[in-house]
Amino acid sequence: MTNQQLIERFRDYLLVELHLAEATVDTYYRESMRFAGYLEQQATGIAEADPQMIVAYILARQQESSIDSRTVAKAVSSLRSLFQYCILERLRDDNPAMVVEMPKARMHLPGVLSVEEVEHILDTIDITEALGLRDRALFELLYSCGLRISEAVELELSQVFLRESIVRVYGKGRKERLVPMGEEARYWLRRYLDEGRPQLTGIEQPKVFVGRRGAGISRKGIWKRFKELTARAGIDAKVHTLRHSFATHLLEGGADLRAVQELLGHADISTTQVYTHIDTSSLQDIHRSCHPRSIEILGSEEAVREVLP
């Protein structure tokens, strides 16, 4: 079996057997193909690779493109899965990538928009056309439900329950969750489905969000449209920022961390905890309203100074 054939079978295994998200599978596939290309230069097959070759490959990648620790971690994770598949296929009895140390990724605080900034971006959408109604419904839903872009792309009509204000979402690994939508999202989604979508496609199209030619909208299509909107609004943000803002605004409003974890579809609560950052002004507001010796309760900043050492 050639390296190419092995990796193609590995890709099918990830999709069919493990039911991983297509984006994850693509990442693992691309990284495995890069690694296979490197091994071919060394006249070595995947079944014969050792830890030293993996380390040399990672170092070569870093020198070529200056990849960061997160990309290195993805590369190591991809190769660990590849070699684990080799063990399942009895092509080898060890996983050399397991002894390669995974780099510690820096804590990265996601960008977050204020409520006013979200509203400003949404208000720039021209809703006099069918595509404008689609965009308003799409981005309202992304913000109201905290959806991933891939989840919005794959959303089908059968997953939308307007009467109950709920959407059924299939996240990473096809994990299902029910997410409530707000009144604004429900209003614009209904208008799009009633007025905009019929102008773009026929009833046989199952995808909720479609393009000008009636086919389901792509991830790149969403990225491009949001970039145009943020440029028009004069705000620097990415589509995924709407998901970050959804989580942060919920937590700032008093939502329980576990509830936000469920709404986001995170398997591990540690992933959700990155959203627990709160700006200084919010901390001051909490202190003023909750602490028994706060400025608000004592009546002046001078009074606060009296209780400080």
Catalytic residues: 148, 172, 240, 243, 266, 275
The beta-carbon contacts of 70-75 under 8 Å, at least 24 apart in sequence, are: 70/105, 70/108, 72/103, 73/102, 73/103, 73/105, 74/27, 74/31, 75/31, 75/35
CA distance 196 to 200: 7
Residue 229 and residue 135 in contact, taking contact as beta carbons nearer than 8 Å: yes
H helices of 192-273, where? 197-200, 219-233, 240-252, 257-264, 269-272
CA distance 74 to 77: 5
Could you give the C-alpha distances from 81 to 53, 67, 85, 97, in angstroms and in order?
16, 20, 6, 9
Angle, CA 253 vertex, CA 249 and CA 256 arms, to 5°:
95
Region label for 134, one of left (φ > 0), alpha (ψ between -120 and 50) or beta (otherwise): alpha
CA-wise closest residue to 223 among 127, 114, 139, 119: 139
CA distance 50 to 130: 56
DSSP 265: T
Q: Residue 178 belongs to what H/E stretch?
A: strand 176-180
